Structure 1
Amino acid sequence: MSRSLFSLAFGVGTQNRQENWLEVFYAQPMLAPSAELLDAIAPILGYQGGNQAIGFNKNQATELAHALKAVAPAQASLLVRLAESQNPLVATLLAEDSAPSSTPEAYLKLHLLSHRLVKPHGLNLTGIFALLPNVAWTSQGAVDLAELPERQLEARLKGELLEVFAVDKFPKMTDYVVPSGVRIADSARVRLGAYVGEGTTVMHEGFINFNAGTAGPGMIEGRVSAGVFVGKGSDLGGGCSTMGTLSGGGNIVISVGEGCLIGANAGIGIPLGDRCTVESGLYITAGTKVALLDEGNALVKVVKARELAGQADLLFRRNSQTGAVECKTNKSAVELNEALHAHN
C-alpha cells in the first residue's frame, strides 16, 4: 500500500432507508495528508489502498481521535465531535485524483473546491452527475424523493412544516462551507463545488456553478458557468465585474483576466486577458466574426473571436448601425496599465 494520499476527509452525512448516501459534510477536508497520518488510521479503518469511502462507527471515531492526537490535532478534535454523531460517519480516502466512484467521493471533491484547496478544473470530476442523487433539500436536510411524501405527512401530523427549498443534485455551498472574506446576497445561487475567492461579492442575481468561480476580489452580478474562473480585480480597487454570462463546461476552461468588465446581459465563450471589456448585451462565442479596428476606427481585418482568446486590453462592442461585432484596443485600460508599471 502506498503511504501517500491525494486527499482525505472524515465526514458525517445522510443516507436513505436503503443506506444509500444522499450527501456528506466534510468539516476539514485535507489535500496531500502526511504519511504518518495514513499509517495511524489505516489499521483502524481496515484501509488497504486505492480510492475508498469507508463507513465507521462512534467507537472507531474515538480510536481514530486517539491515534491522531499527536499526528494531526485538528483532525483528532474533529473526530472527538464526530463520535457524538447520531448520523452515519464516513472516511473518504483518495489515493489518486481519478474519476469518483461513489457519492462520498463526489462530495469530497466538491468540498475541496469550495474550501479553496483546488481551483476549478483542477480535479477529475468525470461521471460526477451520476453519483449525485437528486434529492429534496428541506428544512430537515436532505430527503430521498421516494421518502418525501411520508416525511411531509409525518411533519404535518406533528404540527410542523417540512419546507422544501429545492429539488436538485447539488446543494447550496453555504450549507457546507462559507469561505472567508465573501459576500453572497442569495446563498441559493452558489452551488457546492464553487470556488469563491477572498473579496468576492455575489449579488442577488449572481450565480456560480460547481467547478467554477472567482480568484477575487470582484463582483458577480451574472452567471458563472461550470469551467469558468474569473480573475482578480486591480490593486487600485477595480475588480472584475460580471453582469452577463460566462460559459464553460466540458473540457473547456473559460478564464477571465484581472480587471475585466462583462456588461449586463453580455456573455463570453472565449477566455479574456486582463482589463478587457465586453459591452452590455453582447454575447461572444468562439466562432463570432469580429471586425478589428485601428485607432481611427478603420477596419483592419475580420477574424473569429477564438483568435483573440486570452489577449489583454480589448474592448468588444457592437456597431449600432451595421450590427457587426467590433474590437478595439481598450485605450483607457492600456494607459492605466502603463501608469501602474511606471509607478512600480
Structure 2
Amino acid sequence: MSPILEVEDLRVGFTTEDGVVRAVDGVSFDLAAGEVLAIVGESGSGKSVTAQTLIGLTRAPNATISGSVRFHGQDLVSLGDNDLRRIRGEDIAMVFQDPMTSLNPVYRVGDQIAEMIRAHRDVSRAEARDRAVELLRSVGIPNPERRVRDYPHEFSGGMRQRVMIAMALSLEPTVLIADEPTTALDVTIQAQILRLLDDLNAQRDLAVILITHDLGVVAEVADRVVVMYAGHVVEDAAVDEIFYDPQHPYTWGLFGSLAPLDAPQHSRLPQIGGAPPSLLSLPTGCRFAPRCPHAFQACSEPPPLQARAGGAHLDRCWLDPALKSTLRDVDGRIGLRKPVAS
C-alpha cells in the first residue's frame, strides 16, 4: 500500500546553554493506512520528540527542525502554524503518555471533548456534547450520558486513557499517534486498551504510530517496528522479523531484558552495560559501540541504515550478517555475549 505519511531525514535539535541537543538525527520511515508502526527504545532515544515533531509540537525559538514529514504529499515541516493547526487533531491526532496531566482537572471531560470538536467543526454546544457521549460509548465507558459530566479525577487510570482516545478520535483522523498508552496500567486494563486500539484499527483502517517500551505490547498489535537509539533508527523491519531475526546488538539487548518462562530459577537476565550517550556529545562512530560487546575496529565509523541481501529489513551495524546469528543465540535465548575479537 502507498504510504499516507512519509518521514524523511527528520532532524530536531534544541539549543541550550551547554550546546545543541540532537534529539532526533536523521529519522526516516513511512506509514500506510491500516498499519500499526511501533517505535521502541530506551528513554531519551528520541521516540516522543519524533512523534511530537510530526504535528508541530516541538516548534520553539530554540528548536531547529529539518527534513520532511509528508502527509498525503503535503510537507508538514514547512507548513505554517495556522495550516498545521487544521491538520492537527483533524487528520493526525495524538494520545499523550499521561492522561492525568493531559486532561484539564478543572473541566468536565465532556466539555474538553466538545471543545476539541468545536475548534474544528461548526456545530452547537449541544451537538458537540452529544458527539462526546457517542465517543465515550464507542471506547467502552459505561453510562456515558452521566460520565460525560464527570471530572478527570473521577475516572480510573484506564478510563482516563479511554477518554484521551475518545478525544483523539473525535474528528475521525486517519493517523493516530499513541505515546505509551498503557503506561502505569495494570495488565487487565492494558489488555482492554490494546484490544480497543486493535478494533479501531480494523474498523476505521486507522494508521497508528505506537510508542512504547513494552515489547509484549509490540508483539500484540504491531505490524512493523522501528528501533531507536540515541536519536536515530538502528533497525526497521516487520514485527516477525524483529522478534525472530533481530539484526542489531541493541535490539538483542532489549529482547535479553525479557524474562523467559523456561529460564532456570534465580538466573540473571542479560543486560546492556553502561548508559546511553549524551545527546550533547554523541560518539563519532557507531553510537551503540561504547556499550556493545561486539564492537570492533570498523565501529569507529558511523554505519549506514541499510538492507541486507536486498531485503526490507534495515539495520545499522557493521557486523557480518552471517556472524550475527551465532552471536545473538545464548542457550536458545536472544541476548548479549562476550565481545568479538577485532
Same-fold call, TM cutoff 0.5 = no
So what's the TM-score if we normalise by structure 2?
Answer: 0.29
Going by fraction, where is helix more abundant, 1 or 2?
A: 2
Larger RCO, structures 1/2 (Cα 8 Å, 6+ apart): 2
**Larger Rg: 1 or 2?**
1
Going by fraction, where is strand more abundant, 1 or 2?
A: 1
